[in-house]
Amino acid sequence: MAVPKRKMSRSNTRHRRAQWKASTPQLVPVRIDGATHLVPQHLVKAYERGLINQKDY
């Protein structure tokens, strides 16, 4: 495990953390029971198999 040799200043720590950005999931249209829904791409198979309902997410 990496261990820092020196203490990092509060300013440097916060500047580093501020660079991280969460990205929105890519939505894909999926046809379920005759209706088209926009769902995240990584959950398409779960929706098609019926493991997740549109109300759950």
pLDDT tens column, 1-46: 889 899 999 999 999 888 888 888 899 999 887 888 899 999 999 9
- pLDDT at residue number 10: 95
Rounded-to-integer distance, Cα 52 and Cα 26, Å: 17
Q: How much is the pTM?
A: 0.52
User: Does residue 54 contact residue 32 with C-beta atoms inside 8 Å?
Assistant: yes
Both tokens of 26, joined, read 């890519």
